[in-house]
Amino acid sequence: MTSCVEARDALLVADLADLDGSREGPLAAHLASCPACRALADRVLAATGALRAERSVEPRRSPEAAARMARVEAGRVRRARRARWALAPVLAAAGLAALLLVRGGPESGRPLAARPVPPPPLVESAAANVAVFTTDNPTIVVVWQF
């Protein structure tokens, strides 16, 4: 039988199913018979419940989402390629004519300048409303939930 000390040690790391009674086990059995530990377990469940909504929020771009985007992009590129190949003879002829008529200017072939990437926002999601405070110390930022 689990003691109160053992139960309290296990409360924070336990599976939620052990806390809400949906799974049987020594901890669940103790919580069913000990009101004090039951109250603590309810607090942990309440705290975890507040985090649950936030837990389900995916990051801005998970690796899986990035892979999905890559596949969509690949499909788009393929369709564009097919369309281009269908028009290729016409475009080639037009391009050749343009080359014969106009010589490339000094800007032709110059690569586009790399654009700086904006940094991601500090907070992507939170369990509650948040206020973000920048501080005088550039390495410290405060995120206050309310």
Partner 1 sequence: MRMLPILLLVLVACNAAPNLETRTFALQHLRPEDAATMIEPYVYDQREGAPGRITHTDQVLTVRETRDNLERIAAVLVEYDKPKPWVRLHFQIIEADGARAADPRIADVEAELRKLFRFTGYRLLTEAVMSGTARSDVSQSVGEGDGQFFIEVVIHDVRTVNDTGIVAMQVRLRSLIGLGLGSQINAREGQTVVLGNTQVGEGPRRSTVILTVRPELIRS
Q: Contact positions toward partner 1, by CB under 8 A?
A: 8-9, 11-13, 40, 43-44, 46-51, 54-55, 57, 59-63, 67, 70-71, 73-74, 77-78, 81-82, 85, 88-89, 92-93, 96-97, 116-117, 119-128, 130, 133, 135-137, 139-146
User: Rounded to the nearest whole angstrom, what is the least distance from the CB of residue 23 to partner 1 in the complex?
Assistant: 19
Q: What tokens does 96 get?
A: 């050749």
Closer Cβ to partner 1, 50 or 106, answer by number: 50
User: Rounded to the nearest whole angstrom, what is the least distance from the CB of residue 121 to partner 1 in the complex?
Assistant: 7
Between CA 125 and CA 59 the distance in angstroms is 8
> Residue for token digits 């419940």?
49
Closer Cβ to partner 1, 106 or 117, answer by number: 117
Between CA 53 and CA 43 the distance in angstroms is 17
Between CA 27 and CA 37 the distance in angstroms is 10
User: Rounded to the nearest whole angstrom, what is the least distance from the CB of residue 50 to partner 1 in the complex?
Assistant: 4
> What backbone phi and psi angles, to 5 degrees, belong to 132?
-105, 120
Closer Cβ to partner 1, 106 or 120, answer by number: 120
> What backbone phi and psi angles, to 5 degrees, belong to 141?
-135, 140
Q: Cβ distance 87 to 97 under 8 Å?
A: no
User: Rounded to the nearest whole angstrom, what is the least distance from the CB of residue 123 to partner 1 in the complex?
Assistant: 6
